[in-house]
Amino acid sequence: NPRGEPVYLMTDHIAYWFTDSAPMTKATTHPSNISKAFILEAIGGVGATPKTEMLRVLSAFPLFVVKKRYTPYLDDAPEAAQLLDQALLEDYDRVASVRGRQIYRRRTSD
């Protein structure tokens, strides 16, 4: 990612610092925060929810999304999980699988 496009790491978030990039939002500094309404409200204000935070992340059109096949913390945020699944299906291609991590790349609009 030499152009520094946004990347959404849903696992192994320390890689942000190894790649000189930043989490997409304050809440995604730790991946599981997206499922914790109390943290989201503290960061984003009253009314912030896992769904609104996932919308915020996805609306920034991350070039890559990296996640494990199963993401247990999204069990607590089914609406956010559904948004992510829909975006991955419609807008991304899985380009690699590395040590259990699924790497998705945003499709270009050619």
| pLDDT at residue 102 greater than cutoff 60 | yes
| pLDDT at residue 13 greater than cutoff 90 | no
**DSSP H helical ranges for 1-110:** 15-18, 37-44, 50-59, 78-91
Query: Distance between CA 51 and CA 31 in Å, rounded?
Result: 14
User: HSE on the CB side for 36, CA within 13 Å?
Assistant: 12
Strands 7-9 and 64-68: parallel
Average pLDDT, the chain: 92
Dump pLDDT digits (tens) for 43-86.
989 999 999 999 999 999 999 999 999 999 999 999 999 999 99
| pLDDT at residue 110 greater than cutoff 60 | no
- 3-class DSSP state for residue 21? coil
| pLDDT at residue 19 greater than cutoff 90 | no
Phi, psi (degrees; rounded to nearest 5) at 56: -60, -45
